[in-house]
């Protein structure tokens, strides 16, 4: 399960990614508008629709080529996301006991249902109080 982290640590980690992403020789992940990518915004309605399925345990996020940039060499990406359910073939008891061989090659969660895309990028859709800059 994800953990809440200190806001100062979050700001530091985000800023380090941004510095490395923009550096010469860095990955140079970009928005479709050619700005250095900082993140994405996922709307509440999409999340609530996915999470309204009682079988869904969480959400898988996948980096994917931006649909308007398919076939281009630039590093312009988007997110594709979907709800994920526990995999009935995954042996949670063995995993909790540290027995990794029991689940070799078996994912603990499998995605089901609709796949979502067309998420706005940051920039320009950055949140007020952006933890990477401290600004609004």
Sign of CA dihedral 45, 41, 67, 82: negative
In the predicted model, what is the mean pLDDT of residues 58-83? Answer: 90
Identify the pLDDT of residue 133: 55
The C-alpha atoms of residue 15 and residue 36 are separated, in whole angstroms, by: 12
What is the model's pTM? 0.78
Place of tokens 């997110």: 79
Other C-beta atoms closer than 10 Å to the C-beta of 130 total 16
Identify the pLDDT of residue 46: 94
Identify the pLDDT of residue 105: 86
The average confidence (pLDDT) of the chain is 88
């Amino acid at each position: 399960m994800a953990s809440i982290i200190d806001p100062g640590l979050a700001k530091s980690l985000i800023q380090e990614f941004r510095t490395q992403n923009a550096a010469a020789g860095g990955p140079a992940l970009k928005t479709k508008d050619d700005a250095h990518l900082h993140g994405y915004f996922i709307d509440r309605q999409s999340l609530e629709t996915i999470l309204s399925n009682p079988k869904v345990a969480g959400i898988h996020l996948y980096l994917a080529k931006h649909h308007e940039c398919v076939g281009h060499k630039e590093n312009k990406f988007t997110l594709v996301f979907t709800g994920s359910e526990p995999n009935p073939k995954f042996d949670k008891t063995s995993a909790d006991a540290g027995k990794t061989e029991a689940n070799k090659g078996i994912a603990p969660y499998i995605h089901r249902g609709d796949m979502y895309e067309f998420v706005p990028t940051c920039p320009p859709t950055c949140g007020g109080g952006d933890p990477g800059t401290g600004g609004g």
